[in-house]
């Protein structure tokens, strides 16, 4: 099958064109020579199926950033039959350098001058026929966003594919480091073909920036935007999540329970409480992920994300992170899973890993449920908000501490020089496509892992079959007992230890697990726990719950995004260790003070 590689600088609308070409039927895959996964899709061009690969955006074919190396290695080990070079027409003056670098590789090229709509608005005019003649390659003006010029370009691509690629120079990284040749060639072509007005008339972006990036107003506006996003995701997401949960329960009660009624109790339990609940756990994340990426696509495509980076960089730079990391960290307070997936906007791997190490410490909405239950059971209504607030502070503190401690290990070597693209209206099509792709990615990557985890915990809490489920006689109970010397110094008893084992799956089920363990529910459970524990023990338990592994879905996402078992293990060990140390310091400290 013939291969087309999409190449271009960042902010050229490369991914938009990719989505238009593949119609969202893309998959993520591995390629020889590189360690990151790339999106690719197969489409019918003329009479043949052709594979299109979306390469990361690069500034320079000879650059040193992670992405630039990926592209270089990809081209070296997988010579494409055609390279489709996407150029942002509004920035053609400087983007042509990449085009000329690619030309020297002697591969089949078709050039797309994208964002024709914006260039027109700016008053930039390009003599395409002349440029085509000067550069000796087919060039097309196009708007990937609105689709104008698309059919003609597609035709040219089909035609170009008929010719074999002249081959590819082995000395890919040779000559032209800083060469004069490209400079002069660029000036020559531009002089004859492009007209740019002396000053760009883009008042809208400038006016918006003067408010959004205002020295005093900028940050309050940023936090207001974040708050709205956050609220938006949960106002829309929670009812849908609730609906899905109800649907799964209904299906279980009306169809599965009667259907499986004939099977032995243990098999029934494994199928329903193990596998089926695992699937339901996965499904519960779907609406949140879709909504998160609908909103993220909006923030990213509009150009606001780079503004957020501008506003927050002063603080984040000291933590070894950047402003975009802060946006993801905040989103993690809703749900860690999509926030981890969202770190893909960061192109430096080291910084991305550091951000991914920090995100699981954000107090997500599932943990909040546990804390609300415990504060209601053990603290007066007046003290409860203070307790909750202090937990949020611990969460921020743990995130800052983690970033400071690990920023040396995940050192970011890429220069922090970002473009601030003009504000653009994202199209609904782009947003929906993004949400859909991300959910598919999550389902594909995380389902097996999560279902296996849920089944494992079910087995732990139900074996041996003779024991009362989740009691001290089960495997989980035995583990709880064995861990007792570890947990008693932090004030967590054996019942709560078993609940923590459940909490490894998802924090949403901690309260449910406690109900099973104590054979009580609702207010009765609350008052039983209230009588058994004092506030120091309860707070220690909450601190531990806050900091240790958030949930299986987060672990699965850490693994699927980092693709590095060592990193996932580091995250697990660090959060468990930190949880224990913080709880220990708090519990022993409070006891020493006489509480």
Partner 1 sequence: MSATTLAELHPGDIATIVSIHAEEALHLRLLALGFRTGKQIELIRKASFSGPLQVRIGTTDVMLRRSEAAKIEVRKA
Nearest distance from residue 515's CB to partner 1, in Å? 48
Asked if 315 interacts with partner 1 (CB under 8 A), we say yes
Given the rule CB under 8 A, which of 160-168, 395-403, 414-422, 565-573 is the region that contacts partner 1? 414-422
Beta-strand pair 2-8/82-88: parallel
Asked if 221 interacts with partner 1 (CB under 8 A), we say no
Q: Quick one: tokens of 550?
A: 């958030």
DSSP 254: I
Residue with Cβ nearer partner 1 (124 or 533) = 124
Asked if 477 interacts with partner 1 (CB under 8 A), we say no
Of 24, 63, 269, 530, the one binding partner 1 by CB under 8 A: 63
Whose structure tokens read 């291969």?
3
Asked if 313 interacts with partner 1 (CB under 8 A), we say yes
Task: Give, for 326, the enclosing helix (H) or strand (E).
Answer: helix 323-332
Asked if 98 interacts with partner 1 (CB under 8 A), we say yes
Of 27, 37, 69, 122, the one binding partner 1 by CB under 8 A: 122
Q: What order of strands is seen across the sheet that includes strand 2-8?
A: 26-29, 38-45, 48-54, 2-8, 82-88, 109-114, 139-141
Residues in Cβ contact with 65 at an 8 Å cutoff, skipping those fewer than 6 apart: 58, 59, 347, 348, 414
Nearest in space to 372 (alpha carbons), one of 182, 540, 526: 526
Nearest in space to 8 (alpha carbons), one of 73, 126, 91: 91
Q: Quick one: tokens of 1?
A: 């099958």
Asked if 432 interacts with partner 1 (CB under 8 A), we say no
Residue 369: Cβ within 10 Å count: 15
Nearest distance from residue 295's CB to partner 1, in Å? 23
Given the rule CB under 8 A, which of 58-66, 126-134, 242-250, 538-546 is the region that contacts partner 1? 58-66
Residue with Cβ nearer partner 1 (235 or 317) = 317
Residue with Cβ nearer partner 1 (222 or 449) = 222
Given the rule CB under 8 A, which of 313-321, 339-347, 391-399, 473-481 is the region that contacts partner 1? 313-321
Residues 65-84 that bind partner 1 (CB under 8 A): 65
Asked if 120 interacts with partner 1 (CB under 8 A), we say no
| Helix (H/G/I), strand (E/B), else coil: 375 | helix
Nearest distance from residue 216's CB to partner 1, in Å? 8
Q: Quick one: tokens of 427?
A: 């199209």
The three-point CA angle 339-344-348 to 5° equals 125
Question: What is the full DSSP assignment across 49-112?
Answer: EEEEEEPPP-S-TT--SHHHHHHHHHHHHS--SEEEEEEEGGGHHHHHHHHHHHHTT---EEEE
* C-alpha 489, offset from chain centre: 37
Asked if 418 interacts with partner 1 (CB under 8 A), we say yes
Residue with Cβ nearer partner 1 (417 or 593) = 417
Nearest distance from residue 202's CB to partner 1, in Å? 9
Of 28, 275, 400, 420, the one binding partner 1 by CB under 8 A: 420
Residue with Cβ nearer partner 1 (125 or 493) = 125
Residues in Cβ contact with 277 at an 8 Å cutoff, skipping those fewer than 6 apart: 454, 458
Residues 241-300 that bind partner 1 (CB under 8 A): none
Residue with Cβ nearer partner 1 (34 or 186) = 186
- In this structure, what is the dihedral angle of CA atoms 579, 581, 587, 588, given to the nearest 10 degrees? 170
Cβ contact 361:404 at 8 Å: no
Asked if 311 interacts with partner 1 (CB under 8 A), we say yes
- C-alpha span between 85 and 109 (Å, rounded): 7
Residue with Cβ nearer partner 1 (9 or 363) = 9
- C-alpha span between 430 and 375 (Å, rounded): 43
- C-alpha span between 404 and 280 (Å, rounded): 37
- C-alpha span between 16 and 20 (Å, rounded): 6
- C-alpha span between 347 and 2 (Å, rounded): 28
C-alpha distances in angstroms, 34 versus 58, 71, 439? 15, 9, 25
Nearest distance from residue 315's CB to partner 1, in Å? 7
Given the rule CB under 8 A, which of 108-116, 244-252, 257-265, 311-319 is the region that contacts partner 1? 311-319
Asked if 317 interacts with partner 1 (CB under 8 A), we say yes
Asked if 412 interacts with partner 1 (CB under 8 A), we say no
- C-alpha span between 21 and 370 (Å, rounded): 46
Asked if 413 interacts with partner 1 (CB under 8 A), we say yes
Residue with Cβ nearer partner 1 (176 or 478) = 176
Of 310, 326, 502, 580, the one binding partner 1 by CB under 8 A: 310
* Phi, psi values for residue 126, rounded to 5°: -125, 130
Nearest distance from residue 382's CB to partner 1, in Å? 36
Residue with Cβ nearer partner 1 (59 or 236) = 59
- In this structure, what is the dihedral angle of CA atoms 385, 391, 394, 399, given to the nearest 10 degrees? -120
Number of residues binding to partner 1, judged by CB under 8 A? 42
- C-alpha span between 443 and 449 (Å, rounded): 10
Residues 156-215 that bind partner 1 (CB under 8 A): 178, 196, 200, 209, 213, 215
Of 16, 19, 91, 537, the one binding partner 1 by CB under 8 A: 91
Nearest distance from residue 306's CB to partner 1, in Å? 7
Asked if 392 interacts with partner 1 (CB under 8 A), we say no
Given the rule CB under 8 A, which of 61-69, 129-137, 465-473, 535-543 is the region that contacts partner 1? 61-69
Whose structure tokens read 């054996």?
494
Nearest distance from residue 310's CB to partner 1, in Å? 5
Asked if 314 interacts with partner 1 (CB under 8 A), we say yes
Q: Quick one: tokens of 324?
A: 């975009």
| Helix (H/G/I), strand (E/B), else coil: 593 | coil
Asked if 216 interacts with partner 1 (CB under 8 A), we say yes
Nearest distance from residue 206's CB to partner 1, in Å? 8
Given the rule CB under 8 A, which of 36-44, 292-300, 305-313, 436-444 is the region that contacts partner 1? 305-313
Asked if 306 interacts with partner 1 (CB under 8 A), we say yes
Where on the chain is the footprint of partner 1 (CB under 8 A)? 9, 59-60, 62-65, 90-91, 93-94, 97-98, 122, 124, 178, 196, 200, 209, 213, 215-216, 218-219, 306, 309-311, 313-315, 317, 413-422
């Amino acid at each position: 099958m013939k291969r087309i590689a999409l190449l271009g600088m960042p902010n050229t609308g490369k991914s938009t064109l990719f989505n238009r070409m593949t119609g969202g039927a893309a998959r993520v895959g591995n390629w020889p020579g590189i360690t990151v996964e790339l999106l690719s899709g197969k489409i019918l061009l003329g009479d043949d199926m052709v594979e299109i690969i979306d390469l990361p955006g690069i500034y320079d074919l000879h650059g040193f950033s992670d992405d630039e190396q990926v592209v270089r290695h990809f081209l070296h080990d997988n010579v494409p039959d055609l390279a489709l070079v996407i150029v942002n027409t509004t920035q053609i003056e400087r983007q042509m350098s990449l085009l000329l670098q690619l030309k020297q590789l002697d591969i089949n090229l078709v050039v797309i001058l994208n964002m024709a709509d914006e260039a027109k608005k700016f008053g930039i005019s390009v003599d395409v026929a002349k440029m085509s003649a000067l550069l000796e390659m087919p060039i097309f003006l196009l708007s990937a966003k609105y689709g104008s010029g698309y059919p003609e370009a597609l035709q040219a691509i089909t035609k170009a594919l008929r010719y074999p690629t002249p081959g590819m120079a082995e000395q890919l990284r040779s000559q032209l480091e800083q060469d004069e040749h490209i400079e002069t060639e660029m000036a020559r072509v531009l002089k004859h073909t492009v007209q740019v007005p002396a000053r760009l008339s883009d008042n809208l972006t400038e006016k918006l920036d003067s408010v959004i990036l205002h020295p005093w107003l900028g940050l309050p506006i940023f936090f207001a935007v974040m708050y709205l996003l956050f609220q938006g995701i949960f106002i829309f997401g929670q009812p849908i999540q609730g609906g899905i949960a109800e649907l799964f329960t209904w299906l279980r009660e009306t169809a599965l329970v009667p259907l499986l009624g004939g099977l032995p109790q243990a098999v029934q339990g494994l199928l329903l409480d193990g596998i089926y609940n695992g699937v339901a756990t996965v499904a519960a994340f779907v609406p949140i992920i879709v909504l998160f990426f609908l909103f993220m696509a909006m923030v990213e495509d509009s150009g606001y994300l780079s503004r957020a980076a501008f506003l927050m960089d002063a603080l984040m730079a000291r933590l070894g992170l950047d402003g975009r990391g802060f946006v993801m960290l905040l989103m993690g307070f809703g749900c860690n899973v999509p926030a981890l997936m969202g770190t893909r906007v960061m192109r430096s791997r080291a910084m991305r890993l550091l951000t991914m190490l920090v995100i699981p410490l954000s107090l997500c909405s599932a943990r909040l449920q546990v804390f609300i239950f415990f504060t209601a059971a053990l603290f007066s209504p007046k003290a409860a908000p203070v307790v909750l607030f202090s937990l949020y502070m611990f969460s921020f503190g743990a995130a800052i501490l983690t970033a400071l401690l690990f920023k040396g290990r995940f050192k970011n070597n890429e220069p922090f020089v970002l473009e601030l693209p003009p504000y653009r209206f994202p199209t609904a099509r782009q947003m929906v496509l993004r949400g859909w792709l991300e959910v598919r990615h999550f389902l594909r990557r995380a389902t097996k892992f999560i279902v296996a985890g849920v089944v494992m915990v079910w087995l732990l809490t139900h074996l041996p079959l003779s024991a009362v489920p989740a009691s001290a006689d089960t495997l989980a109970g035995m583990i709880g007992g064995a861990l007792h010397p570890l947990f008693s110094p932090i004030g967590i008893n054996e019942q709560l230890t078993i609940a923590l084992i459940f909490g490894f799956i998802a924090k949403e089920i901690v309260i449910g697990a406690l109900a099973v363990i104590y054979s009580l529910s609702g207010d009765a459970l609350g008052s039983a726990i209230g009588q058994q524990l004092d506030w120091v023990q309860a707070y220690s338990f909450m601190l531990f719950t806050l900091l240790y592994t958030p949930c299986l879905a987060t672990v699965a996402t850490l693994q699927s995004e980092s693709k590095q078992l060592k990193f996932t293990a580091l995250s697990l060990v660090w959060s468990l260790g930190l949880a224990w140390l913080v709880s220990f310091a708090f519990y022993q400290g409070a006891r020493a003070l006489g509480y």
